[in-house]
Amino acid sequence: MIVSILKSLEKFARVEPKKTALIEAGKSLTYSELYARVIQISTILRELDLKGKRVAIKLGNSCELAAIYLACLHLEIVMVPLSINLKRSEVESVFSEIEPKCYITQSTTENFKVKHTFYLDENPFESDSIQELKMIPSESYAAIFFTSGSTGTPKGIVHSEQTLSYMMDSIADGIDLDSNDRFSLFEAMTNASGFIQCFAPLLIGATTIISQEFSIDHFKNTIKHRPTLMSVMGRGNSDMLNSPLIKQEHFTDIRLNITGGDKISKDLILAFKKKTGCSLRVSYGMSEILIITVNKSEEEEKLEALGKAAKHTKMIILDQNQNEVKIGEVGELWVQGPNLMLGYWKDLVSQKETLIDGWLQTGDLVRKDVDGYCWFSGRIKQLIIREGNNISPFEIEEVLMKHPAVSCVGVIGIDDSLEGQLPKAFVELKPGEISTENELLAFAKERLEDYKVPVAIVILQKMPRTLSGKISREALLD
């Protein structure tokens, strides 16, 4: 089956022109209006002869950003979305990698030496001359998403219009999306996951409600649009649980909140359902393929699992000799599918190490149970080796997360001349809770083998995080 966001937009603009495609604060676009806006922007960009060239885009979440993305896909322009939080030096670093021929941003304060620059503050995409162009899906480079760099230097992940569309179809299936749904988006559309979440509803004729990145206020502002589905990552779910401003009545129409990460605790899932009446569904993936697994089970004993393989994604779990492991054994996860990236931008070394015979070597350790559910066991590169013993940071984090005062935990390995590496934990406490390093160490000693007990526990006021909301182990190491 060939899926295509471009063909879908063209189809729904024709058969359901008055249906709402996108909503944001104070603005909405029907399918016909969105289609017309895409053609209008395309008409202007087409004059610059940008086909196959890189266009950097640094904008916040909006209907206009969605239309610009679709116009780039339409014209086979290679778009490079950039977080609005990037500093000037970080933008310059990306520009040195991609050498953009065009830059689209909000304000004239973003002045870089790029041949063509569009500032949205100046309304550059207004034109009375509209030329109808047929939307044709492409298998060539369409987008380059730069990772947030939680494991080192950011990599440019390359996708085609087709791999992007397959990722959208995978997400749509993972949340049981139908054409009557109104999906509330809170993730940055400059991330691969936020990009995909924006357009997945449009693939089947549903509606996307565009918000800025999650906050309690932004969540409450979207309720008036009566979303039926939502996606909140990371600590946003804990924020809702702990906020007295959030009531069950806010979730009257919302049947599902899809979240993501290596590990979401059962306690969080159960508490979220109890407070809101809404199911918290776990998915797991990465920008290279997004998504890999989704957990649709409501059974309590399965809630902490990563889930089963998502639509379009094939998985195998291999040992160090690249032999498939038995059920229940831990191994490295490898994945494949039409939603898999084309490669890494200008990084053939990483590409050859990661993409082997069409399979992506994830670096994540998992096990599969007899029912086909995958369970996260840690990351190969994050393993702490202490006097020859392998320690998974995840195992220590899981234990400390059971302490009633703990909100989140990050564990790293620190070098030691005698033992190789030693585990060190960083902890953020729940609002209003009090604990000490000694209390937390005693808690860990009661539940972990001696060699796994952290040599130190540091209580932080706020845990450092990447742009995608994950705990930044690079920052903890620093």
User: CATH number of the domain that 441 lies in?
Assistant: 3.30.300.30
What is the predicted pLDDT for the residue at 26? 82
pLDDT at 151 exceeding the cut of 50:
no
Residue 376 lies in a domain: no
Same-domain check for residues 285 and 405 = no
Residues 6 or more apart in contact with residue 472 via CB below 8 angstroms: 150, 464, 465, 466
The total domain count for the chain is: 2
Same-domain check for residues 325 and 473 = no
Residue 374 lies in a domain: no
Three-state DSSP class for residue 41: helix
Same-domain check for residues 326 and 397 = no
Q: Note whether 394 and 431 are within 8 A (CB).
A: no
Same-domain check for residues 266 and 396 = no
Same-domain check for residues 185 and 259 = yes
Q: What is the pLDDT of residues 13-34, one digit of tens each?
A: 999 999 999 999 889 999 999 9
Question: Which of 341, 368, 395 is a domain's end point?
Answer: 368
Residue 373 lies in a domain: no
Question: Which of 344, 368, 392 is a domain's end point?
Answer: 368
What is the predicted pLDDT for the residue at 467? 66
Same-domain check for residues 265 and 288 = yes
pLDDT at 362 exceeding the cut of 90:
yes
The pLDDT mean for the chain works out to 92
Q: What is the pLDDT of residues 228-268, one digit of tens each?
A: 999 998 778 989 999 999 999 999 999 999 998 666 888 88
Residue 19 lies in a domain: yes
Residue 35 lies in a domain: yes
Q: What is the pLDDT of residues 384-424, one digit of tens each?
A: 888 777 788 888 998 999 999 999 999 999 988 778 889 99
User: CATH number of the domain that 211 lies in?
Assistant: 3.40.50.12780
Same-domain check for residues 333 and 400 = no
Burial of 127: CB neighbours in 10 Å, binned 0-12, 13-18, 19+: middle
* Across 261-290, average pLDDT: 90
* pLDDT band, residue 196 (cuts 50/70/90): very high
Helix (H) / strand (E) containing 447: none
Q: What is the pLDDT of residues 83-119, one digit of tens each?
A: 998 888 889 989 999 999 999 999 998 889 899 999 9
Rg (CA), the chain: 23
- Residue 275 CA to residue 273 CA, distance in Å, equals 6
Model-level pTM? Answer: 0.85
Residues 6 or more apart in contact with residue 208 via CB below 8 angstroms: 21, 22, 23, 66, 182, 183, 185, 197, 198, 199, 201, 202
Same-domain check for residues 52 and 110 = yes
Same-domain check for residues 354 and 408 = no
Question: Which of 336, 368, 400 is a domain's end point?
Answer: 368
∠ CA(387), CA(390), CA(391), 5° rounding?
Answer: 105
Residue 455 lies in a domain: yes
Given strand 141-146, what is the order of strands in its sheet?
Answer: 116-119, 102-105, 54-58, 78-81, 141-146, 156-160, 343-344
Residue 377 lies in a domain: no
Same-domain check for residues 343 and 438 = no
Same-domain check for residues 267 and 125 = yes
What is the predicted pLDDT for the residue at 135? 81
Three-state DSSP class for residue 219: helix
Residue 54 lies in a domain: yes
Same-domain check for residues 343 and 390 = no
Domain that holds residue 343: 5-368
